[in-house]
């Protein structure tokens, strides 16, 4: 009882020290979601504009995208990993809207990424000014997604950097398909099943540079990860820091990697594996379209807050599955979940948060507390664009 009281007093003191903007946002979130869904198009437009501001206001001023905007200490420096996979989002938006300015933003991001690539092909983990500076498998795989889209959009200028990144991933993979040699120093140690999202980067490289080695390495990793999938679809070894209750964010990474393996190889076993995980996540979906931020091995909520990034990643996967299978459950779930996330997005107010997506709902939840991470915005745009297409 005394320990609980002490914790409450500490929490109250910490809250009182927060900047006014953080207190106001926390109070708004306690009142719940806004009543009306602003719809796909408004959220897409506002999100793309916010990513542009995140590029322009990055603390490191280098052409990359600021990792986040914090209600406590403002804009962060650029984050190579997520800048990498923001590139295909902006290129797809620019293609649909014939928007030359957004296309040029994506090119600036690519040029910055190429400028920081290690000679052996890898890319660093963490923010651009993080230490230690060392090549990391996961971050390289995410940047590879951007480089592959850069080759498709701009031609051979990005082909050699793409090849070097893909070759580095192939060369550093263990024989069983797992990547163990270059883990991130910014997460708990150990093997990671969500590195199927790295495999997706190799599949995209194989599409623009048809080398069997890329697709084979990607397939080996997916096969390794599926050995850690339980019959109910849940994955062990699938979190940054809590294997017993993984984030929906990392579960979403794992699911998307398997889906992209299926879309590359059209192997029905891969589709069945993706559906096992997708169906498990369906069982955790709330009536309001929310997913708990962490889920245990029986797909039960392990926390009370929502990881908005993971929620919208899973929504995107459900929408892809609705296209691949015709199963209306996935379409309905994807729409409901997108709608939930859209209702957390402010379309008016300070430009630092207008169009941005919080790490958690409420904003003081356990993922990216009081922050608007750039990847939450990126995944929201992706999922809303796909819903609009459908």
12 or 117, greater pLDDT: 117
| Rounded Cα–Cα distance for residues 269 and 275 (Å) | 10
Give the pLDDT confidence score for residue 13 in this predicted structure: 54
Q: Specify burial of residue 21 (Cβ count, 10 A radius: 0-12, 13-18, 19+).
A: middle
Give the pLDDT confidence score for residue 128 in this predicted structure: 98
In this structure, what token pair is assigned to residue 197? Answer: 């999202």
Residues 6 or more apart whose CB falls under 8 angstroms from that of 124 comprise 80, 116, 118, 130, 133, 134, 135, 136, 139
- Average pLDDT rounded to a whole number, residues 87-110: 98
CATH of domain 50-186: 1.50.10.10
Q: Kindly state the DSSP code that residue 225 receives in the 8-state scheme.
A: H
The model's pLDDT over 70-93, given as tens digits with 9 standing for 90+, comes to 999 999 999 999 999 999 999 999
The model's pLDDT over 150-181, given as tens digits with 9 standing for 90+, comes to 999 999 999 999 999 999 999 999 999 999 99
pTM tops 0.85, yes or no: yes
Instruction: Sort residue 368 into left (φ over 0), alpha (ψ -120 to 50) or beta.
Output: left
Among all chains, which residue has been given the structure tokens 């600036």? 108
Domains 50-186 and 228-390 share a fold: yes
The model's pLDDT over 27-76, given as tens digits with 9 standing for 90+, comes to 999 999 988 999 999 999 999 999 999 999 999 999 999 999 999 999 99
Give the pLDDT confidence score for residue 16 in this predicted structure: 72
Give the CATH architecture of domain 228-390: Alpha/alpha barrel (1.50)
Q: What are the extents of the domains in the chain?
A: 50-186, 228-390
What length does the chain have?
Answer: 390
The model's pLDDT over 182-202, given as tens digits with 9 standing for 90+, comes to 999 999 999 999 999 999 999
DSSP helix/strand/coil, 8: helix
């Amino acid at each position: 009882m005394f320990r609980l009281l002490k914790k409450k007093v500490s929490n109250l003191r910490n809250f009182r020290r927060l900047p006014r903007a953080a207190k106001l946002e926390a109070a708004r979130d306690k009142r719940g979601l806004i009543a009306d869904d602003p719809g796909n198009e408004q959220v897409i437009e506002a999100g793309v504009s916010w990513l542009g501001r995140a590029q322009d206001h990055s603390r490191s001023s280098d052409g990359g995208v600021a990792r986040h905007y914090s209600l406590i200490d403002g804009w962060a420096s650029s984050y190579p990993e997520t800048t990498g996979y923001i590139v295909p989002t902006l290129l797809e938006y620019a293609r649909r809207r014939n928007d030359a300015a957004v296309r040029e933003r994506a090119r600036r991001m690519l040029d910055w990424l190429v400028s920081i690539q290690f000679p052996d092909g890898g890319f660093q983990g963490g923010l651009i000014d993080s230490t230690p500076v060392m090549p990391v498998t996961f971050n390289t795989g995410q940047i590879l997604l951007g480089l592959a889209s850069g080759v498709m959009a701009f031609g051979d200028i990005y082909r050699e950097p793409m090849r070097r990144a893909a070759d580095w991933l192939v060369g550093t993979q263990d024989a069983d398909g797992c990547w163990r040699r270059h883990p991130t120093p910014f997460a708990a140690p150990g093997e990671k099943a969500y590195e199927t999202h790295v495999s997706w980067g190799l599949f995209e490289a194989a599409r623009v540079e048809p080398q069997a080695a890329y697709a084979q390495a990607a397939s080996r990793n997916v096969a390794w990860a599926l050995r850690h999938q339980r019959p109910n679809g849940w994955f062990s070894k699938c979190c940054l820091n809590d294997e017993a209750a993984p984030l929906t964010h990392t579960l979403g990474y794992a699911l998307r990697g398997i889906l992209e393996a299926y879309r590359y190889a059209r192997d029905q076993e891969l589709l069945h594996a993706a559906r096992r995980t997708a169906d498990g996540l369906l069982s955790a979906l709330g009536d309001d379209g929310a997913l708990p931020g962490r889920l245990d091995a029986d797909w039960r909520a392990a926390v009370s807050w929502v990881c908005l990034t993971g929620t919208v990643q899973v929504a995107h996967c459900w929408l892809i599955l609705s296209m691949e299978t015709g199963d209306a459950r996935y379409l309905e779930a994807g729409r409901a979940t997108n709608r939930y996330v859209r209702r957390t997005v402010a379309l008016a107010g300070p430009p630092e948060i207008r169009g941005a997506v919080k790490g958690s709902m409420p904003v003081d939840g356990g993922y990216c507390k009081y922050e608007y991470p750039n990847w939450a915005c990126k995944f929201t745009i992706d999922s809303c664009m796909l819903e609009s297409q459908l």
